[in-house]
Amino acid sequence: MPSVVGLLEQHELAARRRVDGLREEADRIQAELAAAEQEWQEWAVARRRVDAVLAPGAGTAVTEVTSDPLDADVPSPSGDAVKPRSQVPVWCEGLDRSVLSVDYQRIVQTLADRVRLGQGPLTCQEMAAVFGMDVVPARVEALRSKAKRLVARGWLTEPGPGRFTLAAGVAGPGGGS
């Protein structure tokens, strides 16, 4: 009859092997995702350039090209919008949060409410729960991506790893100070 400790070690070894296998698969998927995002970004840039060339008055308008694939659906400055706005402008004094897309406004508004109520930063898991989303990795990572973009553009700060709050100066009912 095998010992209890021996059985536990067998189960632990099997679990560790499964974890190692899943980590390898996750690494492979992360690499594949990075390659797919790069390809997506290249296609988005190509489409924006073709749109800029084919737009009426293309010789006079200057089209901003961003390196962010999630901003690929931004309409050209000439107003020939095909898709809804998803661009996140860099925050500056007096800029209203209404310039953000609905998803970004929702994040900023939630964090502004927390600041107003004297509450601390939120994690993306907590945000997903507040928004009534399923707290699953895909949803949480989508929120994290948006929050990181807001940090990079000056709307939010990340005082601790994975914890987000409103940046200093981004306040008031409209988002400007």
Cβ neighbors of 28 (< 8 A, separation 6 or more) are none
Cβ neighbors of 68 (< 8 A, separation 6 or more) are 149
Q: Tell me the C-alpha to C-alpha distance, in Å, between residue 95 and each of 7, 8, 59, 100, 147.
A: 63, 60, 30, 10, 18
CATH 2.170.130 fits 97-166, yes or no: no
Taking only the tens place, the pLDDT of each residue in 47-98 is 888 888 887 765 544 444 444 444 444 444 444 443 444 578 888 888 888 8
DSSP reduced 3-state for 163: strand
Domain boundaries, the chain: 4-71, 97-166
CA-angle at 131, arms to 130 and 137, nearest 5°: 90
**DSSP assigned state of 172:** S
Torsion angle, alpha carbons of 6, 8, 12, 14, to 10:
70
Q: What is the mean pLDDT of residues 144-152?
A: 92
Report pTM: 0.50
